[in-house]
C-alpha cells in the first residue's frame, strides 16, 4: 500500500472536494464506495469508465448482505419466540 499512498491521498482529496460544501451527505454513497472502487479499477488497469459498473456491483452486494442479515435476525427472533 505504501507505494500507492500518494495516489490514494490525491483520490481521497478529489472525492472529498466533491461534497465538502454540502451540509449533509450519505457517507457510504459519497465516499465509502467510490474510493475503494476507483482504487480497485486503477490497480487492475481498468478505465474509470467502468466505475459505474463497479459501484453498482458493490451496492447490489451490500443490499444482498443487508437482506440476508435481516432475514437471519427475523429467523432468530422467531426462534426465540417459540
Assess contact for 79 and 53: CB atoms under 8 A: no
Q: Residue 71: its pLDDT value, please?
A: 67
pTM of the model: 0.61
Assess contact for 49 and 68: CB atoms under 8 A: no
Positions of the chain with pLDDT lower than 50, given as ranges: none
pLDDT tens for residues 48-61? 666 667 667 766 76
CA 73 distance to own-chain centroid: 23
Amino acid at each position: 500500500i505504501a507505494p500507492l499512498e500518494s495516489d490514494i491521498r490525491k483520490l481521497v482529496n478529489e472525492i472529498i472536494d466533491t461534497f465538502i460544501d454540502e451540509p449533509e451527505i450519505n457517507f457510504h454513497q459519497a465516499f465509502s464506495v467510490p474510493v475503494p472502487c476507483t482504487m480497485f479499477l486503477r490497480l487492475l488497469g481498468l478505465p474509470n469508465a467502468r466505475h459505474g459498473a463497479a459501484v453498482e456491483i458493490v451496492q447490489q452486494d451490500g443490499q444482498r448482505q443487508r437482506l440476508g442479515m435481516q432475514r437471519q435476525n427475523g429467523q432468530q427472533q422467531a426462534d426465540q419466540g417459540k
